[in-house]
Chain A
Amino acid sequence: MATIVLDETGVPRRQGSAWQAQMGPRTERIVLGTAFIVAVLVAWQVVTALGIEPPIILPSPSDVVGAFRELFSSSDIWADFAASGEELLYGFALAAAVGIAAGLLIGWYPRLGYFFDPFINLLYAIPRVALGPLLVVWLGIGLSSKVALVFLIAVFPVLVNTSSGIRSLDPHLLRVARCFGASDLKIFRTIALPGSVPFILGGLRLAVGQSLIGVFVAELLGAQFGIGAMVENAGEQFQTDTVFAGLLIFAVAGLLLTAIVRWLERRFDAWRV
């Protein structure tokens, strides 16, 4: 029978068995999470070893490792990284700058909010990857259309989060500041800006993942270099193991970038107990 114990945060937690109770919740989380990944890999290897599907449909994990080795033996992969990295960096940086600035303004001035919110919500609601072909028509298949697509995809989560961060500032703090005769500019600098940092970072974290989608889709629409283009080429030539390798690169890039933003969030979160 399961018993209820209190963990160190004082929250009741069901105690499954003795070995589980010996681990902290953090270790438990890591062990369980890793266990599932390992299980999937093993199942995958077993299925492929049984030869149910030919490698051209479902390559084994070791095929994918081989594909990695091959990819990194050529210098083309670095050109792919450079191209995708450039698109991601420019698009994301632009989205962060515009999204934060516009979000602050729209959140701070209610009238701007009334004016822009419906339009922003409309754009936020449509699947923005669908704008890709349009952007190619307008901007060609060079860097600019790719940056534009990444920007359009990533800017909205930043903007919407930032403005809602400003709107959800503690009204009591604003009252305290007014009570001391603070000007709007001072209130903005000392309360609105630091108060909305967690929201801004949350928006950036969402935007990172979305930017990667943008990079991938933009490269599908036509590109010489880039991880997305590499995956697309490999797919056309039925190099399925290379396709898997490319997907893994995207996954790792997403995890890494999200981890960086999470780390920033935790630093700024220290005070929000």
Chain B
Amino acid sequence: MNQPNEITMHLDHALSARGASIPPETSDPVFTLDNVSVYYSDYEAIRNVTLPIGRNEITAFIGPSGCGKSTLLRSFNRMNDLIPGAHLKGTVAYHGTDIYGPNVDPIEVRRKVGMVFQKPNVFPKSIYENVAYGPKVNGTKGNLDDLVEECLTRAALWNEVKDDLKKSAYALSGGQQQRLVIARCIAVKPEVILMDEPCASLDPLATAKIEDLMVELASEYTIIIVTHNMQQAARVSDRTAFFTAELDENEIRHGRLVEFGRTRELFSSPTDPRTEDYISGRFG
């Protein structure tokens, strides 16, 4: 009756070419999550996630709305600290150091782990000043022209803006703004880039550009992306984590990690029926 095969075949087609070279197990993790639960006051938004994030890999978080993908993503750079009442149990180890441990400065964490948001949040400053912002607050002195050019080039935006660096960033299109945000992010020289539905407000052409850019950046950075777009997860990611929101024994909804593995395998032969239902479009 349903045709999961046809749809998964369709995704098969999209699967990234990089997939083949990805080892079955993460050997050199940048992050290791161990039994991580994130709470908003006493509401447990996501429960007991254990997961490695491989170096220079693109990890996709997929799952239905409200299952805690954004919540979990924001725990990688302690952005949840900014929400009153939010707290975390378990350990988020970055190269073996628990980033929620004592003597860890969240500001230092955020310099290593950058973030790109769903809505392009360029600052009301010039294009140049947007890119230079991060290095400036992080204490880089002197001429930033070269760095700005390098980052805009890496973000595939240089050719479009090189004559308008002094223009307001608000004058750019949504897709250009999102690439500017990416340039601004890599100007801080992070090791990891978190992306929360970075293409959700973009048209297909701008989306394709950002996807190309992600694959390009993965040679140098470790990327975690939250997406609602199965095709996108299949096209760009090396590994995929599938989450759902379920009622527990007390009838309270909370997010859970259902399945994690190489994108290739997760999409072509999911082990959990809930994963199969979701990626074949029968759910969520």
A associates with B: no
